[in-house]
């Protein structure tokens, strides 16, 4: 490392992919006993995008990754100017999902590696549920930092949650959507602080039962002859998850600010996991932070779990609403129960 320079893990490009099929609350109300007014008032959700039957999480992930690499090729931050030139330089793919292509193996990250043709990249899945992207940023940063030969990583969140919801559960099926988001990160040498500043990660396994896909694993395998009613699907104790989420978001924001020695005024935007607008509103009220500081796109996409934060980052980035040098905070929570946040200089 040259004198006066520090190592940084910088986000160089972003991308997303959402299925073209858009299902509004009114569309959903045709098949489910619900209404647009009920969904909006309880969650802030107005629509969600649903993947076609022949589309899996790896398909959305690969599309999001290609869109990310296309942005990188068109930008000024890296010397390679085509996707074909960038792909051999990808050393790592970290993919977060709770709706993988296959049970157990192979990892969805390996399927994506093949779809991309990123033949030099190591690939692995992580499952911290809706916190997976936050966990994935630190996982990639650590793996890049510890090996001098590794330089670039794709961090992807992808979900086809429409496959693992019970569409007869009116309180739950309205919450989720399908989609993928990705970022390209690079290990760089910079003057001053840039890229990932710090991360807070945590978990409370005593709450595992509150948000769970009970069927299909080693604890409760699906037996021969069982009907489709027993297919693996999400179950949630809504009140318990809400209480946990508000506390987790509030304390994570406070901890990141404390550790970095900054105030909320130093942060340009907070990008939360897009689970429920009421959670963000409650956390903002507890912290006495303007709701305008938080970026929400849940109205259009609903809860896309591991994909929600990278989708939001891509929207902000492409709209020019975050600029080089801005301090961005991500914060999320999910099954496990897990929680965490990242502090990033854009």
Q: Could you give the residue numbers annotated as active site?
A: 130, 273, 303
Query: d(Cα 201, Cα 154) in Å, to the nearest integer?
Result: 20
Strand partners, 158: 180
The answer to whether 183 touches 322, Cβ cutoff 8 Å, is no
Query: d(Cα 346, Cα 342) in Å, to the nearest integer?
Result: 12
Q: CA 188, 194, 198: angle at the middle one, nearest 5? A: 105
Q: CA 147, 152, 157: angle at the middle one, nearest 5? A: 115
Dihedral sign, Cα of residue 104, residue 105, residue 109, residue 111: negative
The neighbour count for residue 83, using CB atoms within 10 Å, is 16
Helix (H, G, I), strand (E, B) or coil at 176: strand
Element (H, E) at 262: none
User: Number of helices (H) and strands (E), helices first, in the chain?
Assistant: 10, 13
Q: Identify the DSSP state of 57.
A: H
Rg (C-alpha) for the chain, rounded Å, is: 19
Give residue for tokens 């779990």: 305
Query: d(Cα 64, Cα 32) in Å, to the nearest integer?
Result: 30
């Amino acid at each position: 490392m040259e004198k006066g320079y520090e190592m940084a893990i910088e986000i160089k490009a972003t991308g997303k992919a959402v299925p073209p099929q858009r299902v509004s609350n009114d569309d959903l109300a045709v098949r489910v006993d619900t209404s647009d007014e009920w969904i909006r008032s309880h969650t802030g959700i107005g629509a969600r995008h649903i993947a076609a039957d022949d589309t899996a999480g790896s398909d959305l992930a690969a599309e999001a990754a290609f869109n990310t690499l296309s942005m990188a090729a068109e930008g000024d931050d890296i010397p390679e100017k085509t996707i074909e030139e960038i792909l051999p330089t990808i050393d790592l793919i970290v993919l977060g999902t709770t709706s993988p292509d296959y049970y157990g193996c192979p990892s969805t990250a390996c399927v994506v590696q093949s779809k991309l043709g990123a033949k030099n990249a190591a690939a692995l899945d992580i499952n911290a549920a809706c916190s997976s992207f936050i966990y994935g940023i630190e996982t990639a940063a650590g793996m890049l930092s510890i090996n001098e030969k590794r330089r670039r990583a794709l961090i992807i969140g992808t979900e086809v949650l429409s496959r693992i919801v019970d569409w007869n559960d009116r309180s739950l099926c309205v919450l989720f959507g399908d989609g993928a988001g990705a970022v390209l990160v690079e290990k760089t040498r910079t003057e001053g602080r840039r890229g990932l500043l710090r991360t807070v990660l945590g978990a409370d396994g005593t709450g595992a039962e509150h948000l769970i896909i009970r069927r299909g694993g080693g604890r409760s395998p699906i037996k021969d002859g069982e009907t489709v009613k027993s297919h693996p699907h999400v179950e949630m104790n809504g009140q318990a998850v809400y209480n946990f989420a508000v506390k987790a978001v509030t304390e994570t924001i406070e901890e990141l600010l404390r550790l970095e020695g900054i105030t909320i005024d130093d942060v340009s935007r907070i990008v939360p996991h897009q689970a429920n607008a009421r959670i963000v509103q409650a956390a903002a009220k507890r912290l006495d932070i303007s709701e305008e500081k938080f970026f929400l796109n849940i109205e259009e996409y609903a809860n896309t779990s591991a994909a929600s934060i990278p989708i939001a980052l891509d929207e902000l980035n492409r709209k020019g609403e975050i600029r080089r040098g801005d301090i961005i905070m991500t914060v999320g929570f999910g099954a496990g129960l897990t929680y965490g946040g990242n502090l990033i200089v854009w």
